[in-house]
Amino acid sequence: MPLADVSQAHWRALRLHARSLLGLELADDDLQRFASFARMLLDWNQRLNLTGITDPAEIVIKHFLDSLTLMRAGASFEGLRLIDVGTGAGFPGLVIAMLFPGCEATLLDATVKKLRFIEGACAELGIHNVRCVHARAEDAGRQRAHRERYDIVTARAVAPMPALMEYTLPLAKPGGQVIAMRGKDAHEEIAEAARAITMLGGELFQIEEVQLPGLANPRYLAIIDKSKATPRRYPRKAGLPTREPLL
Ligand code: SAH
């Protein structure tokens, strides 16, 4: 596949959309870092199959702008410990880490090749606030190093809501938040996960609607407060949250 480059015009469009949609002023440095990362993503994607989105305009909107919509949940991530569950090629977690150098970001995925890509990209771009963890979320959620250690837990396109709650809520500190990025059926999905949220120590705080430019359907941030400690029996062993979701 030929290597389409994401042009200056696409990044200028990102700056305008970030301003109007999120009130976010992206600096030249931010855009340059995003552009370098996008170039590496497209380059490595030819060998590694990191993302299905390869059209430059779509990369800017569906990967970068969509990741930035997390700012609808909080004006700044500076000083926070964030974990992005099922980060894939780094969306949304790496974009947030690039924008907030004082955000300590852990990018977790069960597929090691995507993490190797992220590590390579971070080394080349001089990004020092990111660490990659190769694990299943269900295993990380039982480990002392990760359980209830994070202020913010993010996830996009990883699992149905009830299973996703079992992946993410155990990782959030009491007082922290899970932000699940969902598609057009968010309201039904969240209703379906209501019991799981309560059982895992969470409480639905807010559903934020986001309309990305040029896309027919809105997207949603399901923002869930971690109000109580997660009972010790959760998460259950790897595979169970999807096979036998808490309903
Ligand atoms: N968040 C990225 C990638 C989505 S693809 C994006 O939106 O572009 C889903 C990713 O979740 C895959 O990389 C897969 O390896 C990971 N994943 C799925 N289930 C997981 C689990 N139980 N633990 C850790 N990672 C998981």
Expressed in angstroms and rounded, the spacing between residue 144 Cα and the centre of ligand 1 is 22
- Model confidence at 3, pLDDT cuts 50, 70, 90, reads very low
Structure confidence at residue 75 (pLDDT): 84
Distance of CA 62 to the CA centre of its chain: 12
What are the pLDDT digits (tens) for 159-175?
999 999 999 999 999 99
112 lines ligand 1 (CB under 6 A): no
What are the pLDDT digits (tens) for 95-110?
999 999 999 999 999 9
91 lines ligand 1 (CB under 6 A): yes
Distances (CA, A) of 11 to 36, 57, 96: 11, 9, 16
Least confident interval from 14-23, 49-58, 134-143? 49-58
- Mean pLDDT in residue range 212-220: 96
Say which DSSP state 109 is in: E
Residues 6+ apart with CB under 8 A from 46: 1, 3
Model-level pTM greater than 0.85? yes
Residue 39 has pLDDT above 60, yes or no: yes
141 lines ligand 1 (CB under 6 A): no
Residue 131 has pLDDT above 70, yes or no: yes
**CA nearest neighbour of 56 among 8, 17, 15, 92:** 8
- Mean pLDDT in residue range 83-90: 98
End-to-end distance of the chain based on CA atoms, in angstroms? 43
What are the pLDDT digits (tens) for 65-77?
999 999 999 889 9
Ligand 1 atom with least separation from CA of 181? 7
- The secondary structure element, H or E, covering residue 14 is helix 8-22
Distances (CA, A) of 225 to 108, 113, 151, 204: 21, 32, 10, 6
87 lines ligand 1 (CB under 6 A): yes
- Mean pLDDT in residue range 32-37: 96
Judge whether 175 and 226 are in contact, CB under 8 Å: yes
- Model confidence at 177, pLDDT cuts 50, 70, 90, reads very high
Residue 5 has pLDDT above 80, yes or no: no
Distances (CA, A) of 144 to 17, 82, 132, 198, 228: 40, 16, 17, 22, 17
**High-pLDDT (> 70) share of the chain, %:** 98
- Model confidence at 56, pLDDT cuts 50, 70, 90, reads confident
Residue 2 has pLDDT above 90, yes or no: no
- Mean pLDDT in residue range 5-25: 93
Query: What is the distance between the alpha carbons of residues 114 and 100, in angstroms, rounded to a whole number?
Result: 22
**High-pLDDT (> 90) share of the chain, %:** 91
- The mean pLDDT of the chain is 96
